[in-house]
Amino acid sequence: MLNLLLAVRQRSESLVAPLEPEDLCLQGMADASPPKWHLAHTTWFFDTFLLQPYLKGYEGCDPRWNYQFNSYYEAAGARHPRPSRGVLTRPTIREIFAWRQRVDAALTQLLTSPDADQEDIQQLAELGLHHEQQHQELLLMDLLDGFSRQPLEPAYKTGADHHLGPLEPTQARWISCDGGLYEIGHAGAGFHFDNEGPSHRIWLEAFALMDHLVCNDDFRCFIADGGYQRPELWMSEGWSVQQQLGWQAPRYWRGDGPADQWQEEFTLGGRRRLNPQAPVRHLSWFEADAYARWCGARLPSEAEWEVALQQHQPLIHDAHGKLWQWTASPYRPYPGFLPAPGAVGEYNGKFMSSQFVLRGSSWLTPEGHGRDTYRNFFAPANRWMAAGLRLAR
């Protein structure tokens, strides 16, 4: 546990190594957070929930930092407004790195002590590890958003986007799944977030899932057919949002007007030519749903997605490691779900409204962090995440 935890902590710091000092407070929108804040918040998590309660003699961080780096834990006290995290120039990045080193040393002391085998300590340490991995992905997605808003279109680093290549050059096909009573959700050993359980049974009618993700060329056909100008394809709320914001193409495509004019996209490696066979990405749920309707198909439920992998995983391409995939399922608790007591019980449960579930993982997801039962979730108008789609019928 300790070696993995320290490796994850080190990776967070390596992610900001390519940045200039001016980038560390970059916050492009209210939903994003600056890189420096991510480094501090993940450290605050260990400081507050693990070290202060369980390491004897440990002195917590400056109490003012609790206010600055608490994200949404009401039980942990008041917090700085999320839309204004970019104004937090202090503490300095030097002070935050020093804090991280102090916390890492304290984690080493705690996890090599006679108390290390306590169940609460092990569970909180593992939760903190996976929490930091989540923020590593968020840090990169937030940077992409922030850099995309700048006239100079800076690159995070050369080659930063090379992991997301074209889809396998085979004919996309439907994978049929029988109807019946199935069990979904996490069961057994191994880490999982509380929203992945309890494991439970669910009835599904027969369905089919497309074995490939939808690619850029496919989505360009939707644009060419007036997909963004046809209200009959859209949910009412989605139509209002895209009209208000002027959506004409996926979030980071670059061009204007007819579909053939969208030839480039902005990436973490800078502006690049759009690869027609790469999976289309940075779509809102509303766009994914409209595209599926235009195809005469639909988005899969999260249960269909998980059951299809249970039955046919070798046949389903890019379930993990390319893009999070929108589902038709609202983000709601599974039957029997109970949040953990205390502040950490706020981790997932209180967000189970007004959002949709995404399944899989993306090319930005840290290695070993994804699972078939993982339930990511975002609001339907969000499209800055590494999200794409797979069709069902």
* pLDDT score, position 309: 97
Report how far residue 96's alpha carbon sits from residue 339's, in angstroms, rounded to the nearest whole number: 31
Domain with CATH 3.90.1580.10 in the chain: 174-389
Tens-place pLDDT, residues 152-192: 999 998 877 756 666 666 788 999 999 999 999 999 889 99
Element (H, E) at 388: strand 387-388
Which stretches does DSSP call E strand in 223-372? 253-254, 264-267, 270-273, 324-330, 356-360
Query: If you average pLDDT over residues 358-373, what whole number do you get?
Result: 96
- Classify domain 1-149 at the CATH class level: mainly alpha
Query: If you average pLDDT over residues 245-253, what whole number do you get?
Result: 97
Element (H, E) at 66: helix 63-69
Q: Cβ contacts of residue 282 below 8 Å, gap of 6+?
A: 250, 251, 252, 383, 384, 385, 386, 387
* Cβ 316 vs Cβ 210: under 8 Å: no
Q: Is the four-CA dihedral 226, 232, 234, 238 of positive or negative sign?
A: positive
Domain with CATH 1.20.120 in the chain: 1-149
Tens-place pLDDT, residues 6-22: 999 999 999 999 999 99
Could you count the other beta carbons within 10 Å of the beta carbon of residue 190? 8
pLDDT value at 358 more than 90: yes
Query: If you average pLDDT over residues 370-393, what whole number do you get?
Result: 98
Q: Cβ contacts of residue 94 below 8 Å, gap of 6+?
A: none
Architecture of domain 174-389: Alpha-Beta Complex (3.90)
